[in-house]
Amino acid sequence: MQAVITSDWHLGGMSKTIPNSVAQQLAEIRKPFEWCRANRVRNIFVLGDLSHTPHMDNAALVGLVRLFVEFADLSIVVLAGNHDVADSTTTSLDVLAEMAPTLANLTVINRKPTRKIVDGVPVCWLPWPHMNVPFKASQLVMVHAEMTGAVGDNGHKLKKTKHGFRLRKGDFAVSGHLHTHQRHGDVVWCGSLYQSKFGENFPKGWLDVRVDDQLRVDCKFVENTPAWELRTLVANCDDDYEQIASAPPHVKFSVKLAAGVSAAKFTELPNVVSVANHSMSLELAAPTDTAVAIKPWYGLRRYLEQAGHDNSEVLAALKLVKSIALEHGF
């Protein structure tokens, strides 16, 4: 079996970062599909977080469906990630699942673990939040997960995880969720096609995976050169202003101002997305070994209850905040 594996497109989540964001993202998403066709690879697997929220806007969903129709010669399997899932409402992935019978090349796995034989190889699909393989035989596992010790999107190793995946002996896993391509033992993350937020590192791309009938796996990373680049810069002097002003237009900046540096002229530059004082940044940063143990959800329940939210809304908010905080190492 041979398959291209990609994940974490976060379609629709970059409107504040790059112009015509959905069209630009779709242009990047096309690349692994075109690579499949050019290299005569029939299978392409998408391991979660197709969209940035459970409900894509119409332009994103229509663009995605058109892409799947255009590449009808490929066998496309889509797995649910944490950004694709909602507790009680119909999601864009549910809509795609409803359309799958009319798109013979599309399979959507968004509810329960599924085992399929793909070109002679047993493959287990674990849609988020499933983390345990329920099938006894050894297999190739497709999952959307993280593991303690893996590198998070902020470049720091994850010290603990809420939805951690543990590989069984005899299995080999390919995962989405973490945007950095990496391998830990018999678990490999394909990484994302492009930076979807500031702080992510290069390289970006997708996996070309080959598996024989003895479950021997060969993974090759195919590097992508996205149409944009996101950089974070701490501005200390006028030289930093010139560096941004002279950068090519496809490079976008998040500027952190050192003490005494004025924000005024940086906000006028067209390739600056955000400006903040370096000591007052609202971005979550992973704590160091000597940092105080911060728990960002402390006090949230009381605040929401006092604001009149019912218990189900409070629990949903706590769950979301804890998930995001744990991704950043808290």
Q: What is the pLDDT of residues 291-306, one digit of tens each?
A: 334 566 667 777 776 6
CB 44 within 8 A of CB 76: yes
Q: Give the chain's mean pLDDT.
A: 88
Domain over 2-224 is classified CATH 3.60.21.10:
yes
Helix axes 21-38, 58-70, angle to 10 degrees: 10
Helix axes 92-99, 58-70, angle to 10 degrees: 30
**How far, in Å, are 79, 147, 180, 198, 246 from residue 254 at the CA level?**
32, 29, 20, 7, 15
CA pair distance 266, 245, nearest whole angstrom: 9
pLDDT at 290: 36
280 pLDDT tier (thresholds 50, 70, 90): very low
Domain 2-224 and domain 229-280 have a common topology: no
287 pLDDT tier (thresholds 50, 70, 90): very low
**Stretch among 3-7, 127-131, 288-292 having the lowest mean pLDDT:** 288-292
Q: Indicate the fold that domain 229-280 takes in CATH.
A: Double Stranded RNA Binding Domain (3.30.160)
CA pair distance 1, 45, nearest whole angstrom: 12
pLDDT at 289: 37
With 90 as the cut, is the pLDDT of residue 30 above it? yes
* pLDDT more than 70, % of the chain: 90
Average pLDDT on 274-289 reads: 54
Rg, C-alpha atoms of the chain: 21
Average pLDDT on 220-247 reads: 92
With 60 as the cut, is the pLDDT of residue 232 above it? yes
325 pLDDT tier (thresholds 50, 70, 90): low
pLDDT at 281: 43
Looking at residue 41, its amino acid is: V
**How far, in Å, are 55, 64, 232 from residue 58 at the CA level?**
9, 10, 31
326 pLDDT tier (thresholds 50, 70, 90): low
Which of 33-47, 141-155, 223-237 has maximum average pLDDT?
33-47
Neighbours of 146 (CB within 10 A): 25
Average pLDDT on 163-168 reads: 87
Q: Domain locations in the chain?
A: 2-224, 229-280, 286-330
With 80 as the cut, is the pLDDT of residue 107 above it? yes
With 80 as the cut, is the pLDDT of residue 318 above it? no
pLDDT at 291: 38
pLDDT in tens, 109-132: 998 999 999 999 999 999 999 999
pLDDT at 276: 87
pLDDT at 288: 38
Average pLDDT on 196-200 reads: 94
Residue 174 pairs with which residues in a beta bridge?
142, 188
pLDDT at 104: 86
